[in-house]
Amino acid sequence: MSSKQQVPRPDARLGDDDTGCPILHVDMDAFFASVELRERPELRGMPVIVGRPGGRGVVLSATYEARRFGVHSAMPMTRARRLCPRAVIIPPSHGKYSRVSRSVMEIFRSITPEVEPIASDEAFLDVSGARRRLGPPAAIAAVIRERVVAEHGITCSVGVASTKFVAKLASRHCKPDGLFVVPADQVVDFLHPLPVAALWGVGERTEQTLVRLGIKTVGDLAGTPVETLSAALGHAAGTHLAALAWGRDERPVTPHTPDKSIGAEETFATDIGDPVEIRRELLRLSERVAARLREGGHVGRTVSVKLRRADFTTLSRSRTLRESTDVAQEIYATACELYTASGLENTALRLVGVRVENLLAADGAARQLSLGEPEKGWREAERAMDRAARRFGRDAVLPASLVRPPFDGMDL
């Protein structure tokens, strides 16, 4: 178990004073796996892994029974199977997770408009304005947990604290299916026994640097002069970590943070050099990106491709269109042009990706028909496909070239 997971349980309980603790961090428990188990209740209590089983796929989610064997998200599937050979592996269903995520976020927004999603399965909430209507923060957190279970059949863990940083640590502390309050006057007592790797911004390399300085806990770091930290880590990182070590985090909950880009990428089970297969994959990724754009009410003007060779060197190319789009065929055509221009058409690739940037709200983006373009075309056809997907599943309607099974691998 890594030091990031070794979080000692401080002497604080639900029911402690939550005065001055308006920030909640809500984190769904093993989100993808929990959503799958709703339809397969016979697997409850068993080690379950969500991920593509072949080749270079990675773990997208794992039940806590699987985590006891050392399995964790982003781990290569090959290693996960070695650690837990009896695990049940379920291929991911991204559309299903997106639907549940949107609905869960609506629960949060029914509590307070101050919701800052930071992933599909977690968000910060500022419940300052909801206290008069719903009670103190800990009571609001309990209501959220009850509603998530009642409406979706899955659980979440909630940290309640005076700052975002401490609230996130608190939710991690009480996983799975817990609620934990860090009183404002006990923040230092909570933080200082923790391993230094618990702090935001402390990755493996930074942790190694701090350990060489004799800094193993947050308390050790709090007692280290800022000048020493800045000399070892740089001024920005040193001052940032020094502030966190004393529980200082001035960032507010920021709702409605717009997406900057939407993309998808695929790591192949084996390297692929056939341009026909690469273009087929570009089409599949373009379809997925376009569906996500329409789902989020976005259009984008810049299309980029990411191409990674077998030796891990990566090439990115982008092009800005005349007008913003959410049409897969337009994205795909541009992606193919960028692939051709890259000079890698006959080069074996281990990963390809498609991304759309410079996003705008679709309802605010004017679009002019090109000369000779029919008034109804790919956009309407793809929206019809969206309606079919919502009713019958994402793979119910596909372009003919994508009907045969897709590659195994990771789709982000």
Position 27 scores a pLDDT of 97
CATH (residue range 192-245): 1.10.150.20
Report how far residue 244's alpha carbon sits from residue 239's, in angstroms, rounded to the nearest whole number: 9
Q: What is the pLDDT of residue 298?
A: 87
Its pTM stands at: 0.67
Query: What is the model's pLDDT at position 401?
Result: 54
Predicted local confidence at residue 37, as pLDDT: 96
Cis peptide before 275 (omega within 30 of 0): no
Phi, psi of 21 (to 5 degrees): -125, 70
Q: Where in the chain is the domain with CATH 1.10.150.20?
A: 192-245
User: Residues, the chain, total?
Assistant: 412
Give, for all 412 residues of the chain, the pLDDT tens digit: 333 333 333 333 444 688 899 999 999 999 999 999 999 999 999 999 999 877 678 899 999 999 999 999 989 999 999 999 999 999 998 888 988 998 999 999 999 999 999 888 999 999 999 998 899 999 999 999 999 999 999 999 999 999 999 999 999 999 999 999 999 999 999 999 999 999 988 888 899 999 999 999 999 999 999 999 999 999 988 999 999 999 999 899 998 766 678 888 888 878 999 999 999 999 999 999 998 898 878 899 999 999 999 888 889 999 999 999 999 999 999 999 999 999 999 899 999 999 999 888 876 544 444 444 444 456 666 566 656 555 545 555 555 555 444 444 433 3
Could you read off the pLDDT of 8-25 as tens digits, one per residue? 333 334 446 888 999 999
259-279: pLDDT as tens digits = 678 888 888 878 999 999 999
pLDDT value for 177: 94
Handedness of CA 361, 364, 365, 369 (dihedral sign): positive
What is the CATH number assigned to the segment(s) 14-185? 3.30.70.270
Which residue out of 122, 207, 266, 382 is catalytically annotated?
122
**Which residues on neighbouring strands pair with residue 202, listed in sequence order?**
none
Pick the CATH number of 261-402 from 2.40.50.150, 3.10.129.10, 3.30.930.10, 3.30.1490.100: 3.30.1490.100
What pLDDT is recorded for position 94? Answer: 82
Q: How far is CA 102 from the centre of its chain?
A: 13
Domain with CATH 3.30.70.270 in the chain: 14-185
* CATH 3.30.1490.100, the chain: domain bounds: 261-402
Query: Which residues 6+ apart lie within 8 Å of 342 measured at CB?
Result: 305, 307, 315, 317
- The span from the CA of 125 to the CA of 130, in Å, is 10
Q: Is 121 annotated as a binding residue?
A: yes
Average pLDDT of the residues of the chain: 85
Q: What are the DSSP calls for 146-202, one per residue?
A: HHHHHHHS--EEEEEESSHHHHHHHHHHT-SS-EEE--GGGHHHHHTTSBGGGSTT-
Question: Is 287 among the residues known to form the active site?
Answer: no
| Among the listed residues 115, 94, 95, 114, the one whose alpha carbon sits nearest the alpha carbon of residue 105 | 115
386 annotated among ligand-binding-site residues: no
* pLDDT for the residue numbered 88: 96
Task: List Cβ neighbours of 227 (8 Å cut-off, separation of 6 or more).
Answer: none
Tokens 């070239």 correspond to what residue?
401
